[in-house]
Chain A
Amino acid sequence: MNDHKYIIDLHDINKSYPGVVPLHVLKDVSLGIEKGELVSIMGASGSGKSTLLNILGILDNYDSGEYHLDGVLIKNLSENRAADLRNYMIGFVFQSFNLIGYKNALDNVALPLFYRGISRKKRNALAMEQLERMGMADRATHLPSELSGGQKQRVAIARALITNPSILLADEPTGALDSHTSREVMQVFRDLNAEGRTIVIVTHDPAVGEQTNRIIRISDGRIVE
């Protein structure tokens, strides 16, 4: 069942972590997300939503089932192939921003292009463009430690967008922000979605979920609705 109308297409995904008592985290998860959707995946802690995000982001393997991302089967990939697919297809936004502390905003945004072998001049120009879109052009030479939480998340979103990825994956993107800044960041996601970006946000915050077009609830390793 590989329906190309879905950009993210999960079919009967199972994932368990080995141990004395093996932990069955994802149980027959099937999920389809269309191109241009703004979706949130919600669930309590321990529900399996982080594992689902890791699989969606090609950061982790799954045991059985099939995952197609933009028509590409993501299964048993080599480290190098996985790194390439992450670089070309996925933009990550993290709760703790995950900017490199000793690099300024511009260099952080440009870093994904370094691993594509793009020249410094070109990637800095592209990074500047992304920062301008995020309204962060005047902070380009600032280190992450010199930026507020909202500003850091804008830089992180700029970094996620610079590769023009198929999907944007956000893991609790507002978890470390106050409510006012959270709303601003969510507005950024809504604006990007309005431009046609496919965005998946993992969160446990109902206020965040409300601002997305579809909420997928996960509980005890199963999709609830």
Chain B
Amino acid sequence: MRNPIFDIENWREIGATLSQNKTRTFLTGFGIFWGTAMLALLLGGSDLLKKLMSRNFEGFATNVAVAFPGRTSKSYAGFNKGMPLDLNLTDITNIRTAIPEIEHSSAVNILWANAVYGQKKSSAQLNGVEPGYSKIFSPIIYAGRFINEADDANARKVCVVGRKVADEIFGSSEALGKEIELNGIYYKVVGTVGQTSEINIGGAPMDECVFIPYQSMRSSYNLGNKVNLFMMTIKPGHSPGEYENLIRRLVARNHPIAPDDRAALGFFDISEQFKMVENIFTGITLLALFVGVGTLLSGVIGIGNIMWIIVRERTHEIGIRRAIGAKPRDIIVQILSESMVLTTVAGIAGIVFASLILGAVQHLTGIAAQLPFTTAMAILVTFLVLGTAAGIIPAFKAMQIKPIEALNDK
């Protein structure tokens, strides 16, 4: 028995039928083309939307927590309530020792300062940070470097300037190697930085800050052991929330505050906020999937409908073919092969079309809105399988056409 897949005659016959019925082929093909293109655009578009949203969080670890001093809300050990907590380096050391799951961390002190270079002056937020800070926030480094271990250990008088501050005091001239005055003390510029994300913790965006080593700030401005903020990231597999109570106990042990006084220490867990964002992402994915399945379904029903109409329209032709010797199997193979060839060609065209549009969007927004090859293939295979399935009922209808039809129909 002839195998229709390896029979060149069969393919020739299908090619001839499709190319000699141009309008019908075009209309059927366009339905499939549109279905695949819409589905591909939908999936690519939801990917684009996610990327657009996540651009806001770029360079931002999602498992960050910040601890900062508050005021007591309960009187304890002879102290009145309302006493401000003085978070200090001992607390930081205790926390770091007790929680090995902390991946990166930095004590931060914040001051306001005028950055002065020659006649130019810019008001900036002055952050005293430990080198771990750059692991938590991944600043964009435009020139030079960020504060490193040696800077902090030796309390070097070096600074890293936010891009906006650098633009104001240096203009277009080179910033690296220059010495700027910050509240009466001079620091050498070793880097310029900025950020793309819209999220800031501890005041101004990095572009509007000047960073100096924590130890330099502490000694230069007589801050003692004081810590304004303690930032940390937790190793993957754990969430910052798991350690909140431990951190509270560790701090309470070192200060005259009630163990159950939650107001004394502020604790901000960013991963909680990210869970919300992740929910939105899940929502977008589900929506795309839902609409996608709908598109797929209407596309497949469309194919089935068109195949049905084609079979009705070709009843006479099929009758003639049967009268001159076509077997039922020949007819079913012909109808299904035609729909498969059409689905494949039109489906590939649809995906190419969608890719071109996504490419144009990428060109305009600068965001890679790609349709992964596997997704494209999955769309194509799904359409092929469901399209063929939808063609089976009409094909069986065609198979049952009796050759008498050729004689009856005048």
A residues engaging B (CB < 8 A)?
A: 50, 53-54, 57, 59-60, 79-80, 83-84, 86-88, 92, 94-96, 98-103, 107, 111-112, 114-117, 119-120, 159, 163, 171
Contacts and interface: CB of A to CB of B under 8 A. Distances in A.
Given A80-B327, A114-B9, 18 more contacts: A57-B323, A59-B402, A59-B404, A79-B327, A80-B329, A83-B327, A92-B323, A94-B406, A98-B323, A98-B407, A99-B320, A115-B325, A115-B327, A117-B2, A119-B9, A120-B12, A159-B324, A163-B325
Contacts of A112: 324-325
A192 to B, nearest CB: 18
User: Which interface class (under 10, 10 to 19, 20 to 34, 35 or more) fits B?
Assistant: 20 to 34
B16 A98 contact: no
A59 B16 contact: no
B325 A94 contact: no
Interface of B: 2, 7, 9, 12-13, 16-17, 20-21, 316-317, 320-330, 402-404, 406-407, 409-410
Contact of B323 (A59, A119, A163): A59
17 contacts: A79-B327, A80-B327, A84-B325, A86-B324, A86-B325, A86-B403, A94-B406, A94-B407, A95-B410, A96-B410, A102-B17, A103-B16, A107-B16, A115-B330, A117-B7, A117-B9, A163-B325
A159 B324 CA distance: 9
Given A94-B407, A103-B20, A171-B407, A79 B328 contact: yes
Q: Which 3 A-B pairs have the closest CB atoms?
A: A87-B325, A102-B20, A115-B325
A115 B344 CA distance: 26
| Dominant secondary structure at the B interface | helix
Contacts of B403: 59, 86
Contacts of A114: 9, 13
Contact of A100 (B9, B320, B325, B402): B320
Nearest to A91: B324
Nearest to A107: B16
A54 B407 CA distance: 9
A83 to B, nearest CB: 4
B317 A115 contact: no
A121 to B, nearest CB: 10
A60 B9 CA distance: 29
A52 B329 CA distance: 27
A59 B407 contact: yes
A117 B13 CA distance: 12
A111 B20 contact: no
Nearest to A117: B2
Nearest to B409: A96
A100 B323 contact: no
A87 B324 contact: yes
Contacts of B410: 95-96
A112 to B, nearest CB: 4
Nearest to A95: B410
Contacts of B20: 102-103
A211 to B, nearest CB: 23
A115 B4 CA distance: 12
A14 B13 CA distance: 40
Interface-central residue, B13, B323, B410, by most chain A CB under 10 Å:
B323
B1 to A, nearest CB: 10
